Every structure is written in C-alpha cells, then in structure tokens.
Amino acid sequence: MGIFIKGTYLVHSSGKLEKKDVYLKEGKIESIANTLYAYENDRVIDGNNKLLVSGLANCHTHLSMTLLRGIADDIPLKQWLENEIWPVEEKLKPEDVYWGAMLGIAEMIKGGTTVFADMYFPEDEVARAVAETGIRACLAPGLIYQNAENGEKKLKENVNFIKKWEGWGNLITTAFGPHALYTCPPEYIREIVKEATKLDVLVHFHFLEALWERDYCLKNYGLNPLDFLKQAHLLDAHTLIAHGVHLTPEESRNLSPYKIYLAHNPTSNLKLSSGIAPIAGFLKNGLKVVLGTDGTASNNDLDMWEEGRLMSFIQKGISGDPTVLNAEESFKIMTNNGYNALKLKGGVVEEGYLADLILIDLNTPHLTPIYNGFSHLVYVVHPEDVTTTIVGGKILMHNRELLTIDEEKVLGKVRDIARRLKQ
C-alpha cells in the first residue's frame, strides 16, 4: 500500500509553486508528476491548498530535557550546567527520560521535524520512544570522562547501544557522544573515534560553545582548539560539532575539507549569552553548516521554524548584508544539509529520496498571498501550519492529530514527573 498525495503544491527552485501529484511507496518518494493515479488500497491525501516540503532536520538536541523546560533561566552556561541542570538530572529515572522523549517527539512531529540528532542518557529510553512513535533519529549516549575505569565502562556501553539500535526499523542510526573538550580529554576521544570508525557511525560533540573553552583547552591540554580536534582524531571521523560559536574564520576554513558538520543553535547561544556563531562567514569558507535547537532547557522549545528564521535574520544583522543566508539557502540548511550530515538520503522532495515529508496549510491569512515559497518557509511558517507529518512513508500526524502518540497521556505523565523534580 502506498500514499497518494493528490494536487499538492511543490516549491520549484525558482521559488514559484507547482501543482503536482506525489506517490510514496516503501518509505521513499516513488513518483512526482502532473497526473498520477492511486491503486486500490492506497491511502489518498488531498493536497489542495497545501504545500508539500521535506521535513526539518534538528541536528542537535537533548530531547528529554523537555522535562527541564523553564527550570533554570537567565544564567551563564557554566553556572547553569553545574549548579542547576546537572543536579536536577541526577534525580531523573530511566522512565522519566522515556516520557521526556515522548513529549519532545510529540512537539517535533507537530512542528514538522522528521529527524533529530540527540545526545542524552540513558539513550535506550530515547530509542524506545523513537521506536514506538516512528520518527527518525540519530542517537548518541552522552559520554563524560571521570576516570579510566569509568571511561572504559561508558565507552563499552556506547558500543553495545550502537550494536543494539543501529539501523532499527530503518529509522534509528547511532553515534558516539563525547560531551565536550572540558569533560573528555583528547586521548579518551581517540579511543571513541577508533570505535566509531570500526562501526561506521558519527561522533556528536560540543565544541567552542563558550569563550572560556579556548582558555580551558590551552591551560589543561596545552593545545589550541583546532589542535585538540587533531589530537583527538576527530578530523578523521564523520563528526557533528554542536555550536562552534567561537571558531575563528581561519579555523572554519581549515575544517572545511573534513567530514565536519557544524550544528548551529542560535536561540540557545543567545539565551545563554554564549555569543553568535558567524555562520555566513563559515559557509563562505566552505564549512558545512546544519541547524539545531539544543535542549529545551536552554531554548526553550523545539521550534525549527523559529530557529531557521532567527539564523537568517541574525546573520544579515551582524554582517550588514541583507543578501546573506537568503531564504532558499536557509531552508536547505534546515532540511537537506541536515540529512546529509546524518548520512541520510533525504531533505528534498525528489524521486528516490526518503519519504520524510510535511504538508503545510496555505489557506491562512499569514501565508496569503504567496509569491515565493522559500520566503514563506523561512520567514513566515509556524509549527501550527503543519497539518501532516510523514516519516519513512508512514503518517505520524494528519489534520493536526498525532497518530502514534497518546498526547494527553504523555502530558499527564510529564506533569507528574515535574512535580517530583520540584520537590
């Protein structure tokens, strides 16, 4: 059985809308044409007054931190982590992490995100939520080095997680998640990269989110940040670097030949006063850039539309150039770039690509009129405009109704957990 989307609008490379029929089968986009016909058992979706685009790729988050949304605001990063977040996280039970993940997945599906890259613990609980809901994810258990014995134990647990979940249901891919240069020394990360290379998976790593990390690196390792990446062998891996706020232009240029993807998180970086990553310059220097929300404790939501809009506007503002990060380029960062970073053939509406798609209702005042589809996608669309979310050819939401999640049950469970955490 396939999915036949009849008479929907697609965005041409010019930005103009084209009306097409689209047919999905076996998790992929099989056909796009002016006129197609449904088979007897196909699911038919009326695409009238709808825009069909790729789902969004959230390339850096800590999903179960939905449980900590609003628990500690307006505090610098180091103090926020050490005094507020980490002590509360010690109270979390595995079941809490599962319900936090379910809440985050519900928010993402309703907002049009179809794949996300996560780093948290215990990540088995996040994987369980992904498996039950049908969203796509790249999952990395967070690794923090405490001592040699503990580090080896955590590394083995990460390997076992990968062997258990990699490729599950054609939805889950996996990664190693060394937390940051201030929690994982280069020799430990070298061991991680060795295992990642053997298993052919990503490494997901926080890097230069805060200015003090540069001094920490020099003081504790005698290295500048780029040499840290070299010493840790992260330049030899397929590496997803979160933040990179304080990379220099020269460093961004030097990173461009490698399989390094920078996950930009503008809202979180602004809220924690970490700074503004000059990604327009990074892109000009050849560095590959994707987009993420970070966790909801520092964002405080999983709204990728807002993230994309903010990304574009800030770069125009700090560069003094309104032409940088135009709408088409920004939407590519929100979609196709993210899928590429996660080693997935998706993020575009083309035959042969993953059927990770969303329908947007155009019959609303704020989306009328429409001259350029990319303009509306980056500068206007909100999560509530998404009516249908499809991942791997499976409908996860239709007419704003979640089909794989009991939303009321999830909300109730999370409220119960929040009451306990506040005690």
Quickly list DSSP for 282-334.
HHHTT-EEEE----TTSS----HHHHHHHHHHHHHHHHT-TTTT-HHHHHHHH
Phi, psi of 50 (to 5 degrees): -120, 150
Q: How close are the terminal C-alpha atoms of the chain, in Å?
A: 50
Helix (H, G, I), strand (E, B) or coil at 366: helix
Of 204, 178, 206, which Cα lies nearest the Cα of 191? 178
Does 62 appear as a known binding residue?
A: yes
For residue 46 the two structure tokens come to 């009326």
Sequence-separated contacts (24+) of 22-25 with Cβ below 8 Å: 22/47, 22/52, 22/349, 24/355, 24/357, 24/390, 24/393, 25/393
Does 238 appear as a known binding residue?
A: no
Phi, psi of 52 (to 5 degrees): -100, 120
| 420 alpha carbon, distance to own chain's centre | 29
Does 206 appear as a known binding residue?
A: yes
Does 398 appear as a known binding residue?
A: no
**Is 57:356 a contact under the CB 8 Å cutoff?**
no
For residue 188 the two structure tokens come to 């430990």
Residue 131: its H or E element: helix 123-133
Residue 410: its H or E element: helix 407-422
Does 179 appear as a known binding residue?
A: yes
Binding residues for substrate: 89, 179, 209, 294
Binding residues for Zn(2+): 60, 62, 206, 294
Binding residues: 60, 62, 89, 179, 206, 209, 294
